[in-house]
């Protein structure tokens, strides 16, 4: 009996696998840091503290020992890496568990995309927990490649490592008791259900929580976060590449409410993952804006473990999994050693184990159905007053502006002098030929065009530029690569990144992908953009569940009214 073996090891009657000596233990149970008795590990679990007979002894020489880090909300696809490549990147930085919402791949390949991540969870050496995408597509106002149906949800909830339902982005369908939505929520009645409720408050928020949704990662306003905490929600404080909230919310985190919060990445670009890090970077960012080390550490260890009922995770205690991270000090937080399941898996930033490669279905490689000869980016000048999407730097929120536009030969045109570019979202899954057209202010483009097949959440092609010819050339480059990102000026491709797996990811090492991303950003800057990551910003301009206004393949979408609108103002 395995249980009896653990008990025998704990009482010292069975030789343990590993004994860790000379550690300073970060105890997330009582908020202390203490010189630890030797830590005994058997069968991947911590079985006791004290002197034990061991097969192996590891002297950590006074380093601080922390529980393994847990990212409570991430879309791995947003790193542009396949699961194995992602693990290769984050495990040496101390991440030993992630809670994944695979709704990006689900929008392209449906249930098969979710199963791809479930299979990855089975074979990769970190804990990958799956939340089943609840809104694929996120709304009826865009065209995705596939849908996740009620029947799919019922089937997928029964798979191992599945925790519950992922972020419910279509919050109007929850508040208004839409039939299929209610059935999905009832199907997961005994599971955790993640939220997505930007700006929701008052009775509408009450209704959203009453449906059984108890987390939100969209808060950027302190008062909004406090209301949600008071009403019983968990706040996932996001610090991604585009949306950054730690500094905005740090002022409200105190000894009374920090247990209702966790630090999460949500979306992380390859270059930031390489140069800054993953959760190790979020810890440093939290300390830089005034959080105490023990508070920040609990927000990526024990807090998410408690929220999501991850048994044996998030702490260093008897019976807990031996997922441990050693650092030199609690302010620099440079990860020196990572232990997963009692095995040393990384040291000084390098993996010490071999990872099994991803098994990528052939159907994921060719996922585009677009005819170039059908693309026409001209916009008739029915009126010269037009609704324009205003970008907000480092946020995925936008504002609606009504501006007077230039026209030529009866068509509206971009105006680089006023930082107004043309934008198009091209349906790429079903060959409909459908395309939404509009204008965007704030990308900073003085010339050329940017295009990407990463366009949340339906992942159609989004392209923005100062002229139609460069926009067409950029789209052609995306199709030639079977997915990716491109920068074009005067018909010449300045930089490109191939994302051959569903147009979202690549099975190449992080360093190579990050270098390509830096080249893309530099090329975008040569066109005039000063945004931190213009492609991340561009990708969210098609997301119809984040206020205030977005563009989908079906047209301009007002998120506040939850309706498609005409571009022109008469």
pLDDT tens digits, 1-39: 699 999 999 999 999 999 999 999 999 999 999 999 999
| Final residue in a domain of this structure, among 294, 313, 332 | 313
Statement to judge: residues 223 and 368 lie in one domain: no
Element (H, E) at 57: strand 54-59
Q: In the listed set 247, 281, 313, which residue is the last one of a domain according to the structure?
A: 313
> In the prediction, which pLDDT does 1 show?
63
Q: Are 229 and 260 in contact (CB under 8 A)?
A: yes
Cβ contact 20:58 at 8 Å: yes
pLDDT reported for residue 195: 96
- Which pLDDT score is estimated for 394? 81
Tell me the CATH number at 145: 3.20.20.140
Which residues in the chain come in under a pLDDT of 70? 1
13 inside domain: no
Token pair 């502006």 in the structure block, residue: 401
**Backbone phi, psi, residue 335, to 5°:** -75, 125
How many domains in the chain?
Answer: 2
Domain contains 160 = yes
pLDDT at residue number 267: 92
Check whether residue 305 and residue 370 sit in a common domain.
no
> First CA to last CA across the chain, in angstroms?
77
Do 413 and 266 share a structural domain? no
Would you state the pLDDT for residue 243?
A: 83
The range of the structural domain enclosing residue 503 comes to 364-565
CA distance linking residue 39 with residue 303, whole number of Å: 23
Let me know whether 257 and 374 are in one domain: no
Ranges of beta strands (E only) in 357-410 are: 379-380, 385-391, 398-404, 406-408
- Shared-domain flag, residues 369 and 286: no
pTM: 0.94
- With contact defined as beta carbons under 8 Å apart, do 97 and 105 qualify? no
Residue 395 pLDDT: 84
């Amino acid at each position: 009996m395995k249980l009896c073996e653990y008990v025998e090891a704990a009482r010292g009657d069975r030789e343990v696998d590993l004994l860790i000596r000379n550690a300073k233990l970060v105890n997330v149970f009582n908020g202390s840091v203490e010189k630890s008795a030797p830590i005994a590990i058997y069968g991947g679990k911590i079985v006791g503290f004290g002197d034990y007979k061991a097969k192996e002894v590891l002297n950590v020489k006074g380093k601080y020992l922390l529980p393994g880090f847990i990212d409570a909300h991430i879309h791995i696809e947003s790193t542009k890496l396949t699961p194995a490549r992602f693990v290769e990147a984050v495990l040496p930085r101390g991440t030993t568990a992630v809670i994944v919402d695979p709704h990006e791949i689900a929008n392209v390949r449906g249930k098969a995309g979710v199963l791809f991540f479930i299979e990855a969870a089975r074979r990769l050496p970190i804990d990958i927990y799956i939340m089943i995408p609840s809104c694929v597509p996120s709304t009826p106002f865009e065209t995705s490649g596939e849908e996740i149906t009620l029947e799919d949800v019922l089937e997928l909830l029964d798979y191992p490592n599945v925790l519950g339902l992922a972020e419910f982005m279509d919050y109007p369908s929850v508040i208004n008791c839409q039939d299929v939505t209610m059935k999905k929520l009832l199907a997961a009645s005994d599971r955790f259900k993640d939220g997505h409720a930007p700006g929701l408050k008052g009775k509408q928020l009450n209704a959203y929580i009453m449906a059984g949704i108890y987390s939100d990662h969209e808060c950027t306003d302190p008062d909004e976060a406090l209301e949600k905490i008071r009403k019983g929600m968990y706040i996932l404080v996001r610090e991604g590449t585009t949306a950054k909230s730690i500094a905005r919310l740090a002022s409200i985190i105190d000894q009374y409410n920090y247990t209702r919060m966790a630090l999460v990445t949500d979306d992380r670009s390859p270059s930031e993952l390489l140069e800054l890090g993953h959760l190790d970077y979020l810890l440093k960012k939290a300390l830089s804006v005034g959080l105490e080390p023990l508070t920040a550490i609990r927000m990526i260890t024990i807090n998410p473990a408690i929220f999501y009922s991850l048994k044996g995770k998030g702490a260093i205690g008897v019976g807990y999994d031996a997922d441990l991270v050693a650092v030199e000090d609690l302010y620099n937080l440079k990860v020196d050693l990572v232990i997963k399941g009692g095995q040393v898996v990384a040291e000084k930033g390098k993996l010490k184990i071999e990872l099994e490669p991803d098994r990528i279905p052939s159907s994921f490689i060719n996922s585009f159905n677009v005819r170039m000869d059908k693309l026409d980016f001209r916009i008739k000048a029915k009126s010269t007053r037009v609704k324009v999407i205003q970008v907000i730097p480092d946020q995925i929120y936008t504002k609606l502006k009504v501006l007077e536009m230039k026209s030529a030969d009866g068509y509206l045109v971009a105006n680089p002098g006023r930082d107004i570019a043309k934008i198009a979202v091209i349906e790429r899954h079903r060959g409909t030929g459908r395309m939404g057209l509009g204008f965007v202010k704030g990308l900073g483009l003085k010339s050329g065009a940017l295009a990407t097949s990463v366009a949340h959440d339906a992942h159609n092609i989004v392209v923005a530029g100062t002229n139609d010819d460069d926009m067409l050339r950029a789209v052609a480059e995306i199709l030639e690569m079977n997915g990716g990102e491109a920068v074009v000026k005067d018909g010449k491709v300045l930089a490109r990144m191939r994302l051959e797996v569903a147009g979202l990811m690549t099975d190449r090492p992080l360093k190579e992908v990050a270098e390509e991303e830096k080249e893309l950003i530099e090329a975008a800057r040569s066109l005039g953009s000063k945004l931190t990551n213009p492609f991340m910003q561009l990708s969210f301009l098609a997301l119809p569940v984040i206020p205030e206004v977005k563009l989908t393949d079906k047209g301009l979408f007002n998120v506040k009214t939850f309706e498609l609108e005409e571009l022109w103002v008469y």
